[in-house]
Amino acid sequence: MLQAGRLRGEAALALLLAARVVAAFEPITVGLAIGAASIITSYLTYDDIYCRFAECCREERPLNASALKLDLEQKLFGQHLATEVILKALTGFRNNKNPKKPLTLSLHGWAGTGKNFVSQIVAENLHPKGLKSNFVHLFVSTLHFPHEQKIKLYQVQLQKWIRGNVSACANSVFIFDEMDKLHPGIIDAIKPFLDYYEQVDGVSYRRAIFIFLSNAGGDLITKTALDFWRAGRKREHIQLKDLEPVLSVGVFNNKHSGLWHSGLIDKNLIDYFIPFLPLEYRHVKMCVRAEMRARGSAVDEDIVSHVADEMTFFPKDEKIYSDKGCKTVQSRLDFH
C-alpha cells in the first residue's frame, strides 16, 4: 500500500512537470498529461504529494511505541530508569489528544551515561530525520548563550525562536544541552510556554516537547547508586522515587545547574527529572560491542576487554564506575 501510494505521488509529479515542458509544443499532449495527472491526484491531496518530497510536520503521525522501546532497550545500556520513564512519558503524551501543557523532561547524570544519545533516539522516533529535522531544535549553552552580559538579548531571541517554530509545527522538539553551563535566568524566559496555558499570544505550545540535559545532580545520583551497591542491592532495584525528589531539590539549589531557583521547578513545570546512573565495567563493554557492530566489524571479545580495561573507574578504592561513562569508547576503539 505504501509503495503504491509512493508510485502514485511520483507519477503525478512527473506528469505535471511533463505537462509544463510540452505546453509550448502540443496542446493535445498537454491535455492528455493533465487528464492523467488529474486521475492520479484525485486519490491524493496536495499535502500528500508535497510531503513525499519534503519534510512535513504531521501532527497526526502516531508514535511507534514498540520501535521506541526497542531502540532504548537495544542501544541504551545500564539505564533502566531512563528507559522506563522516557517510554511511558512519551507514549502517554503522544496518545493524549488534549494535553494540558507541553511535555518537559530534565535528564541528569555524569558525562557519557547516555543523555545526548537518548535525546537523539527520542528525536528520531518523533521525526524521521531526527536531529537533522527542521522540527527538532538543539541548543548548546556554551555555543548559543556564551556571554553572561547578553542574558536579556538571549531571552528575547529564545522566545522568538520557539514561538516561530511552534507556530510552524506544533509537535516541535527543543533540546537544551549543557544546562549546567547555562547562565541562571535564561531558561526562565520560556516559562510561559511550559505552563498550563491554552495559548500564549495566539500560539498553543501544548503539543511541543522540551528536553533539558545536564551534568548537575550527577553526584547525588552516584551517591544513591553507591549506597545500593554497598548494601548489596542491585542497581536495577533503584526506583525513580529514590532519586527524583532529591534530584529536583538538589538542582534547584545548585547555582551551576541552569535551573537554580528556577520558576520551572518552583511551579512544577518539569514533568520528570530523569536520572542517568553511572556506568559499570560491564556496561562499558556493552558500549564497545555496540560500537564495533555499528562499524560493521565482528565483535572481538579480546578487543572489548582491552578497551574497557583502558578506562578509569571510581571510587578510588572500589573502582566501580567509569569516570567518563562510554564517552571515549569510540576514540579508544580507533587504536585497536
Question: Comparing C-alpha atoms, which of 196, 176, 186 is closest to residue 267?
Answer: 196
116 is in an annotated binding site: yes
Q: Is the dihedral of CA 54, 59, 62, 67 positive or negative?
A: positive
Strand partners, 106: 212, 273
* N-to-C CA span, the chain: 46
Q: Confirm if 171 and 207 have CB atoms less than 8 A apart.
A: yes
110 is in an annotated binding site: yes
Distance, in Å, from the CA atom of 139 to the CA atom of 213, rounded to the nearest integer, reads 10
115 is in an annotated binding site: yes
Distance, in Å, from the CA atom of 158 to the CA atom of 164, rounded to the nearest integer, reads 10
DSSP structure string for 206-263: TT-EEEEEESTTHHHHHHHHHHHHHTT--GGG--HHHHHHHHHHHHHT-TTSS-TT-H
Element of type H or E holding 24: none
For residue 74 the three cell numbers come to: 537495544
Distance, in Å, from the CA atom of 159 to the CA atom of 165, rounded to the nearest integer, reads 10
For residue 248 the three cell numbers come to: 529536583
113 is in an annotated binding site: yes
111 is in an annotated binding site: yes
78 is in an annotated binding site: no
Binding-site entries = 109-116
Binding-site entries for ATP = 109-116
